[in-house]
């Protein structure tokens, strides 16, 4: 039972989203999600600690943020390093073939208070990941916090734009332009 | 049973914090919290929708944010309006006699994943309240979002500093200075 399943995490997320939309989050069990994905309950719990987490990818996003900031060029400013992380996420997670999934995922989360609560917590964790990765590049604590908050704001606006079915741009391009808008607005405020 | 109880919300929060510290969040019931506060379960539910919410004051903070931003002088910039809200919160909620409660509250929340999750959601709601109140002042959407995010960051740093028992400054002063630091750091990034 402990064999490695290719894309198990993604299959579980797609199955969960289908079931949540069909019968509601409350009326769906982990066993049913695993069955729909053709996997076992124990495989589910190797990937996610609980039912809520299945739409949030476990540590995937935190790891991508970490990798993206670490891989930014040496002379990159804190906001350039954050832009590099957003670009990494666009290439490795929010690909064009995931856009429709993203739109349905947003609708399911918006309809459920427990999922909205988990989303809020994941947002804070992503900000923490950005802060830690920026700190490892030598960015001072407060500058790392500010850059991470602005990056998270750009991320959330860009994700909303990207998961709109009428949109055809790549996430990385949208995120880069959104971060530029956030930066310009910030400069006018500060 | 439906009579008005002076400070019921505050008494319930103090009772809940004692019980969570004594026997743990999971092992405390709403009935026990109400009893410790000398109130009834129905009074509890008139103030809070569930057990988690008792440490988060229901809509109190959102209402103070709203009031503080609305009451800022006419010519105030978005960040000045946010500073006015933080000052209002210092005068009406985070008073000197609440500092010790604040420190114990922070410790209990940090120890419990469910409370951390609620705290994350409340943080987002406060940001939404700031955005809405700024928008009503005519601030454009993106500028309102950026000002709210920077205000929330200053708030959380200032609250951490204020709830340190070794600190003797008023919340409003700490928040104002922290917001200045955040603004200066932001200017250097953007």
Contact A117 B121 (CB under 8 A): yes
ipTM for this prediction: 0.84
State the best of B142, B151, B184 to mutate against chain A, taking most chain A CBs within 10 Å.
B142
pLDDT one-digit tens code per residue, A2-38: 455 668 988 999 999 999 999 999 999 999 999 999 9
Report the chain A residue with the minimal C-alpha distance to residue B156. Answer: A145
A185: confidence class by pLDDT, cuts 50, 70, 90: very high
Q: Are B54 and B18 in contact (CB under 8 A)?
A: no
- Residue (of B4, B76, B171, B120) closest to A189 by Cα position: B76
Check if B189 contacts A (Cβ < 8 Å): yes
Q: How far apart are CA B187 and CA B57, in angstroms?
A: 34
Q: How far apart are CA B125 and CA B115, in angstroms?
A: 15
Angle at A47 between CA A21 and CA B26, to 5 degrees: 80
* pLDDT reading at A139 higher than 90: yes
Contact A79 B190 (CB under 8 A): yes
Q: What is the mean pLDDT of residues A138-161?
A: 95
pLDDT at B95: 87
CA distance A83 to chain B (A): 13
Handedness of CA B21, B24, B26, B31 (dihedral sign): negative
CA distance B38 to chain A (A): 31
Partner residue facing A142 (CB), from B78, B123, B185: B185
pLDDT at A51: 94
| Beta-carbon pairs below 8 A across chains A and B | 87
CA distance A112 to chain B (A): 13
Check if B164 contacts A (Cβ < 8 Å): no
Kindly list the residues from chain A whose CB atom is less than 8 angstroms away from the CB atom of residue B149: 149-150, 152-153
CA distance A177 to chain B (A): 13
Digits of tens for pLDDT over chain B (190 positions)? 445 566 898 899 999 999 999 999 999 999 999 999 999 999 999 999 999 999 998 788 999 999 999 999 999 999 999 999 999 999 998 988 888 888 889 899 998 888 998 898 899 999 999 999 999 999 999 999 999 999 999 999 999 999 888 888 999 999 999 999 999 999 999 7
Q: Which domains does chain B have, with CATH numbers?
A: 8-53 (1.10.10.60), 59-189 (1.10.357.10)
Kindly list the residues from chain A whose CB atom is less than 8 angstroms away from the CB atom of residue B49: none
Mapping DSSP to helix (H, G, I), strand (E, B) and coil, where does residue B125 land? Answer: helix
pLDDT one-digit tens code per residue, A25-80: 999 999 999 999 999 999 999 999 999 999 998 788 999 999 999 999 999 999 99
Provide CB contacts within 8 A for B153, sequence distance 6+.
A145, A146, A149, B182
DSSP code at position B76: -
Kindly list the residues from chain A whose CB atom is less than 8 angstroms away from the CB atom of residue B147: 189
pLDDT at A6: 63
The distance in angstroms from the start CA to the end CA of chain A is: 56
Q: What is the mean pLDDT of residues A101-117?
A: 89
Kindly list the residues from chain B whose CB atom is less than 8 angstroms away from the CB atom of residue A142: 157, 181-182, 185
Q: How many CB atoms are located within 10 Å of the residue B27 CB?
A: 10
A186: confidence class by pLDDT, cuts 50, 70, 90: very high
DSSP code at position B71: T
Contact A146 B181 (CB under 8 A): no
pLDDT at A17: 94
* pLDDT reading at A1 higher than 60: no
Report the chain A residue with the minimal C-alpha distance to residue B140. Answer: A185
Q: Report chain A's mean pLDDT, rounded to a whole number.
A: 91
Q: How far apart are CA B171 and CA B9, in angstroms?
A: 21
Q: Are B125 and B133 in contact (CB under 8 A)?
A: no
pLDDT at A4: 54
Question: How far is CA A137 from each of CA A75, B45, B186, rounded to the nearest angstrom?
Answer: 10, 48, 18
- Helix segments in chain B, DSSP class H: 8-23, 30-36, 41-47, 60-70, 78-92, 99-110, 113-136, 141-162, 171-189
Query: What letters, b where the CB count within 10 A reaches 16 and e where it falls short, cover B77-94?
Result: ebbebbbbbbbbbbeeeb
Tokens of B90: 């210092």
């Amino acid at each position: 039972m402990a064999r490695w399943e290719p894309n198990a995490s993604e299959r579980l997320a797609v199955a969960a989203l289908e079931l949540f939309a069909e019968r509601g989050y409350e009326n769906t069990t982990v066993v049913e999600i695993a069955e729909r994905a053709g996997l076992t309950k124990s495989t589910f719990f190797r990937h996610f600690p609980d039912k809520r987490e299945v739409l949030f990818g476990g540590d995937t996003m935190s790891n991508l943020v970490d990798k993206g900031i670490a891989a930014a060029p040496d002379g990159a400013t804190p906001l350039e390093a954050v832009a590099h992380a957003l670009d990494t996420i666009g290439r490795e997670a929010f690909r064009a073939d995931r856009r429709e999934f993203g739109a349905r995922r947003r609708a399911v989360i918006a309809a459920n208070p427990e999922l909205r609560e988990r989303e809020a917590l994941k947002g804070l964790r992503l900000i923490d990941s950005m802060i830690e990765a920026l700190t490892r590049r030598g960015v001072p604590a407060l500058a790392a916090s500010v850059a991470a908050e602005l990056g998270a704001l750009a991320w959330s606006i860009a994700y909303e734009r990207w998961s709109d079915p009428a949109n055809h741009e790549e996430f990385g391009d949208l995120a880069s332009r959104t971060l530029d808008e956030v930066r310009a607005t910030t400069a006018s405020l500060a």
